[in-house]
Amino acid sequence: MERPKVFITRQIPQEGIDLLQRVADVDVNPVDAPLPKSKLLEAAAKYDGIIGLLTDKIDSEFFEAGTNLKGYANYAVGFDNIDVAEATRRKVPVSNTPGVLTDATAECAWALIFAVARRVVESDKVMRSGKWDGWGPMQFIGGDIMGKTLGIVGAGRIGTAMALMSRGFGMKVIYTSSSGRRNGVLDAELHAELVPFEELLKRSDFISLHTPLTPDTKHLFDSSAFSLMKDTAYIVNTARGPVINEADLVTALKTGQIAGAGLDVYEKEPAMAPGLAGLDNAVVLPHIGSATVSSRTNMSTLAARNLIAMLRGKKPETCLNPELFD
Ligand code: DGY
């Protein structure tokens, strides 16, 4: 039987590629950059299966081109880049990579909390500049973390893991839920409180975003949300950039409406909103939430196993349109 043909839109850890090569002929985009849309459409037309990234728009044009496509595997847990309804309409299974990057992303949110509250990046810059003239009682005074209130927006896998990591800091955890359902783990382990969004804004000292990007969460944080936050509060985003209106965030940071922001994601990646790069009370990372050896390796093997299942007409482990297999 002819081996299926698979395309990967950018180099990923070899472990997943090795798995695929056992059963398929695999081509990997040789250029280490996001694949141009025209090349993505060419690949959709040519290959039986594709592994793509959050930078690939898997939309109606993609499915239109991919008349023989047996499956698409996203190398990411977030799937706002995929038109899942269209995939289902065209009977193309699609998958993502939940579960394997939970701790890495939660740890990244903590890295941002420490960095922004304790002014780590600003202080590092001064040391490297050679301008530090010795210890001073008024230098780089930041915010406390111990015993403060942590607000989780999106208490799913990553939000829950992030909140559980607060145990070492004796924090009060509050969270919102779009479904209105309580989070049993957070309630039992942390005596966390489910609160309305406005209450979370008003009470939190740190807000950590873990909600998926949907039409409902786009610009959830805008000038009116920032106006309800404490002026000593920090916001951290390791979810998706457009959950925050970045121009409004720049204003809130400039005017001292909030104390600081730690960002791993942006509204228009790879760009940042004008003004953001110049702000010392913002710590900015290049979307590295899942960038640990084990997470990226496991993302690659999970995406590969998902695609192999789809090439065989089977339901992938982490399917986004499981109804296709009912
Ligand atoms: C994801 O998986 O959605 C992250 O943003 C990248 O790992």
Q: Where are the domains of the chain?
A: 5-100+293-325, 102-284
62-82 mean pLDDT:
98
> Are the beta carbons of 260 and 206 closer than 8 angstroms?
no
Q: In this structure, which residue's CA is closest to atom 4 in ligand 1?
A: 76
> How many other C-beta atoms can be found within 10 angstroms of the C-beta atom of residue 17?
18
Asked if residues 221 and 248 have their Cβ atoms less than 8 Å apart, the reply is: yes
Nearest CA to ligand 1 atom 6: 76
Q: Which CATH number fits domain 102-284: 3.40.50.720, 3.30.70.100, 3.40.1280.10, 3.40.640.10?
A: 3.40.50.720
On the question of a common fold for 5-100+293-325 and 102-284, the answer reads yes
Give the C-alpha distances (Å, rounded to integers) separating 260 from 198, 213, 231: 19, 22, 9
Give the position, in ligand 1's atom list, of the atom nearest the Cα of 240.
5
Q: What is the pLDDT of residues 163-193, one digit of tens each?
A: 999 999 999 999 999 889 999 999 999 999 9
Number of neighbouring beta carbons within 10 Å of residue 171? 20
Q: What is the pLDDT averaged over residues 33-42?
A: 98
Percent of the chain at pLDDT > 70 equals 100
With a pLDDT cut of 90, the percent of the chain lying above it is 98
Does 286 have pLDDT greater than 80?
yes
Q: What band does 1 get if pLDDT is binned at 50, 70 and 90? A: low
Cβ–Cβ under 8 Å, residues 307 and 71: yes
Q: Which atom of ligand 1 is nearest to the CA of 295?
A: 7
The pTM for the full model equals: 0.97
Coil vs helix vs strand at 56: coil
- The model's pLDDT over 88-122, given as tens digits with 9 standing for 90+, comes to 999 999 999 999 999 999 999 999 999 999 999 99
Average pLDDT, the chain: 98
- What integer is the mean pLDDT of 11-29? 98
Of 9, 101, 264, the residue with max ligand 1 atoms within 8 A of its CB, to mutate for a pocket test, comes to 101
Task: Give the model's pLDDT for residue 176.
Answer: 97
* CATH 2.160.10.10 is the classification of domain 5-100+293-325: no
The residues carrying an active-site annotation are 240, 269, 287
